[in-house]
Amino acid sequence: MRVLHLIAIALLLGAAVAVAQTPDLARRQAEAAAALADRQEEETVLTEGEGRSEVFGYCTACHNTALIRRSAFTRDRWDELMDWMAEKHGMNPLEGEFRQTIVDYLAKHYGPRARSPRGGNPFLN
């Protein structure tokens, strides 16, 4: 019985420690999320081409390049997204030559592709 009591006490202590650690873990996770968000990217993570600097500079003000790199849109859909980001997400509206440079770059380098961005062949790699 004494052994059982000891185990019960140990479990209770363990639970108390786990609860006590929660605020620390919460803070560390928030810091980890902030660190991920702040992680500096190099422009070269995007495909080389005319307009890359403009795209990198303008777009990463709000989000990182994962959103670009995972995308595969036609020029028309990229163009539509420029309006959507301006209307819904507070982006400074893109117009004229600058807009054309950005949309041209995205359409050329992040256009429709035949394959999914997910994973690889589990039996061939």
Partner 1 sequence: MTRENAPERSVQELYRDDPERADALVFGRRGALKGAALAAMGTALGAGIPFARHMPQGLVPAALAQGAAQPQFLQMEGKAPLIMQGERPLNAETPEHLLDDAVTPADKFFIRNNGSVPDPVADPRAWKIRIDGEVNTPLELSIAELEQRFEVVTRQLQMECGGNGRSGFSPQAAGNQWGNGAISNAEWTGVRLRDVLRAAGLKEGAKFTGQHGADNHLSAQGPAISRGMRIEKALDEDTLICFRMNGAAIPQMHGAPARLIVPGWPGSLSQKWFNRLEVKSEPHTGRGMGGTSYRIPVRPIVPGSRNNGADFVDMESMPVRSVLTSHAHGTRLPAGTRSLDIRGHAWAGDLSVRDVHVSTDFGQSWQAMQVAAPPNRHSWQRWQGSVALPADGYYEVWYRATDSNGRMQPHVAANWNPQGYGANPISRIAILIG
Q: How far is the CB of 52 from partner 1 (least distance, A)?
A: 19
Considering only residues 40 to 69 of the shown chain, the ones binding partner 1 according to CB under 8 A are 61-64, 66-67
One-letter amino acid for residue 49 of the chain: G
Residue keyed to tokens 């185990």:
7
Looking at 6-97, which runs of residues are DSSP E strands? none
With CB under 8 A as the contact rule, the residue among 3, 4, 19, 20 that binds partner 1 is 19
Examine residue 17 and tell whether it contacts partner 1 (CB under 8 A).
no
Find the shortest distance in angstroms from Cβ 43 to partner 1: 16
Those residues whose C-beta lies under 8 Å from the C-beta of residue 79, and which sit 6 or more positions away, are 103
Q: Could you tell me the two tokens for 102? A: 């950005």
Structure tokens at 8: 């019960």
Nearer of residues 2 and 22 to partner 1, judged by Cβ: 22
The CA distance from 72 to 109, in Å, is 9
Name the residues that contact partner 1, by CB under 8 A. Answer: 18-19, 22-23, 25-30, 32-34, 36-37, 39, 61-64, 66-67, 70-74, 76-77, 80-81, 84, 87-91, 112-125
